Amino acid sequence: MFYSSMIEIKNKNNNIIDYISKTEQYFLSDIEYQHNIKKTNPHDLIYLVRTKEKENTNFLSLVIKEVSKGFYDGIYQRGY
């Protein structure tokens, strides 16, 4: 009984050690990968032109825009 439980504990310990070594290997490879990454500067980047999204316009919003545009244009027409 004692011997079988000791073997079971040893097997669990070996599994834990394997898991720890795989985890260490993963993180060490990740650290090595970070050393190979080049830091970019603005000359390396490609800038894309962002297109405007189409506005959802309805009749009421168009009328409101035209009226506000008229009020704005009315500022310059005063004084005649």
Q: What is the pTM of this model?
A: 0.37
DSSP string, the chain: -HHHHHHHHHHHHHHHHHHHHHHHHHHHHHHHHHHTPPPP-TTT--PPPPPPPPP---HHHHHHHHHHHHHHHHHHHTT-
The per-residue pLDDT for 17 is 87
Q: What is the pLDDT of residues 18-75, one digit of tens each?
A: 888 889 888 888 877 777 777 777 787 788 888 877 777 788 888 888 888 888 877 7
The per-residue pLDDT for 48 is 80
Across 9-34, b (16+ Cβ under 10 Å) vs e yields eeeeeeeeeeeeeeeeeeeeeeeeee
